Amino acid sequence: MVKLENSKLSESVSNKNITTSLSDCVVNLDHGDPTAYEEYWRKIGDRCTVTIHGCDLMSYFSDVTNLCWFLEPELADAIKELHSAVGNAATEDRYIVVGTGSTQLCQAAVHALSSLAGTHPVSVVAAAPFYSTYVEETTYVRSGLYKWEGDAWGFDKKGPYIELVTSPNNPDGTIRETVVNRPDDDEAKVIHDFAYYWPHYTPITRRQDHDIMLFTFSKITGHAGSRIGWALVKDKAVAKKMVEYIIVNSIGVSKESQIRTAKILKVLKETCTSESESENFFKYGREMMKNRWEKLLEVVKESDVFTLPKYPEAFCNYFEKSLESYPAFAWLGTKEETDLVSELRRQKVMTRAGERCGSDKKHVRVSMLSREDVFNVFLERLANMKLIKSN
């Protein structure tokens, strides 16, 4: 018998020495490892504990009547209930496709859309600055079905294309719509990545209703190690092709991870109407993100050499009031002509280079989701930095 207990969380490699001394440690804020929420789930305690016996979950199959036959019914119900409670996405008349994180689902969606196109390779684009992993996802296997064409802002190639739209955007946190915009073109396809469209990061302004919408468990709750994501897909043929891709790629998705995810999502749904900040995860998460952003903005203001985007307020349907955005990543820039990722590396701070996101060397992506003490060390080092201008 195995018990998956929420309170027993393993330490990440990049942060494993935080209990001793951080003064000389390398602070890795390159990856979006969401350990910031550990404290909340530790307080929740046994409410998220799942017991799995040795004879449980042995079959490949979860529901043979479902197009996505490896999707656990318990998880499907939890996904629908949470989206309904938060009001951020429509789930009616859609197929739910579960994947090993949204990374696998994005690859499955690109494969599905391109394999159904009449001409190959299908162009794949995203507006800069874009999620850097999109490049690896669309180039690694060197598929003949599709081809990465880079920045959507300058894309004018004829023929079928897929635009990847991340909103709020990773890395800069802005709200995004399509850029290429060929509404009368039947060969124009869009994949909407809503990994961060949750009320602790951004105001929920509307119930999203698109053909393909991707979500990931890791960025909602912080449980990145479970490797669970899901897609809400309107078209049956596209959903079927996505399922076929996942079958070939991994023969389904871990049932243990699905059951744990279902349990935690149900707790999330149960607590999301609470007025208590310690009980309501989205209230807790929003207050934590607000606190971190206020600290970072203060350091940036005092430095007079760094820059950050400004986010407009919007009315949040979930919180029923106007709110600011507090993105999961900071798109940190500098007013100086310098290689910012190298400057930060000299201070033992690892970040994602802006050039990897289709931008320039004056920008970096900084994760806002590390543990509190790691984040505070980053702020201290940033406040003490003196930039060296590039030749």
Determine the average pLDDT of the residues in 237-266.
98
Determine the average pLDDT of the residues in 81-101.
98
Tell me how far apart the alpha carbons of residues 359 and 177 are, in angstroms, rounded to a whole number.
Answer: 19
Q: Quote the pLDDT of residue 5.
A: 58
Could you name the CATH architecture of 57-271?
Answer: 3-Layer(aba) Sandwich (3.40)
Q: Are 331 and 207 in contact (CB under 8 A)?
A: no
Q: What is the DSSP letter of 12?
A: P
pLDDT digits (tens, 9 = 90+) for 21-41: 667 899 999 999 999 999 999
Q: Are 232 and 91 in contact (CB under 8 A)?
A: yes
Tell me how far apart the alpha carbons of residues 23 and 20 are, in angstroms, rounded to a whole number.
Answer: 9
Phi first, then psi, for residue 341 (nearest 5°) are: -65, -35
Q: Is 196 helix (H, G, I), strand (E, B) or coil?
A: coil
Q: What CATH number does the domain located at 7-42+281-383 have?
A: 3.90.1150.10
Our CA dihedral for 329, 334, 335, 339, rounded to 10 degrees, sits at -140
CA 362, 313, 224: angle at the middle one, nearest 5? 65
Domain ranges of the chain: 7-42+281-383, 57-271
Residues linked to residue 95 through DSSP beta bridges, in sequence order: 233
Does the model's pTM come out above 0.85?
Answer: yes
Q: Is 231 helix (H, G, I), strand (E, B) or coil?
A: strand
pLDDT digits (tens, 9 = 90+) for 260-283: 999 999 999 999 998 888 899 999
Which residue type sits at 323?
L
> Tokens 């009449």, residue?
118
pLDDT of 10 above 80: no
